[in-house]
A and B are shown apart, each in its own frame.
Chain A
Amino acid sequence: SQQGEEDPQALSIQEGENATMNCSYKTSINNLQWYRQNSGRGLVHLILIRSNEREKHSGRLRVTLDTSKKSSSLLITASRAADTASYFCATRSGGGSYIPTFGRGTSLIVHP
């Protein structure tokens, strides 16, 4: 079963707008990761946030984690057409398992 579930499934915005994607999960986690996948390509790691962290930034990306609500969000500011891709969250639970569980992804389209 999938641990993380992204919301919305699809998001369509204009260039320059901000894009926010959410990820909810069910059990406690060690960390949560966000990945990006361009059409027909492999996934690219964006950000890893640990369970004791609340916010991380990388360039135009901002990730927050709320362990009390079991949710995370990925914010892309000032979006560009090149940000068009699918975005996945992946969670790693405790107990010595280092295998991440991926959600179904959010498909983001940024119109120029």
Chain B
Amino acid sequence: SQTIHQWPATLVQPVGSPLSLECTVEGTSNPNLYWYRQAAGRGLQLLFYSVGIGQISSEVPQNLSASRPQDRQFILSSKKLLLSDSGFYLCAWSVPGDQPQHFGDGTRLSIL
């Protein structure tokens, strides 16, 4: 069966520090991969999605970036975090095509 792992579960970082959140999927090949951010009590904002290694589409211009160095690995990064980067970050995968998404358990990021 397929599983998705996302870490860390919680992270507290100072303003201006770098960020690296990692997401890996097991049990499937060539998945579509997604990074979302969820503000408290709000819906999901799509940040990045990827349909293959090295292929990243950005939905929202900001100081975050994403990379897909391997087929089942998706990384969310920042060189310098802002206070506004605080939130709940979710990674998801789906089979290519018109299929449901499967989410990780998220990372709660607090910027101080």
Q: Are B43 and A2 in contact (CB under 8 A)?
A: yes
Interface stretch, picked from B12-20, B60-68, B69-77, B102-110, is B102-110
B90 at the interface (CB under 8 A from A): yes
Q: Which residues of the partner chain B approach A98 to less than 8 Å between Cβ atoms? A: 32, 94, 96-99
Q: How far is the CB of B82 from chain A (nearest CB, A)?
A: 23
B27 at the interface (CB under 8 A from A): no
Given the contacts A31-B98, A88-B44, A41 and B32 also touching, CB distance less than 8 Å: no
Q: Chain B contact residues (Cβ within 8 angstroms of A): what range?
A: 20 to 34
Interface stretch, picked from A14-22, A64-72, A100-108, is A100-108
- Identify which of A30, A48, A104 contacts B43 (C-beta below 8 A): A104
**Which residue from chain A places its CB closest to the CB of B90 in the assembled complex?**
A42
B55 at the interface (CB under 8 A from A): no
Q: Are A99 and B98 in contact (CB under 8 A)?
A: no
Q: Which residues of the partner chain B approach A42 to less than 8 Å between Cβ atoms? A: 6, 90, 92, 103-106
Q: Which residues of the partner chain B approach A2 to less than 8 Å between Cβ atoms? A: 43
Residues of B within 8 A of A (CB): 6, 32, 34, 41-44, 46, 49, 88, 90, 92, 94, 96-106, 108
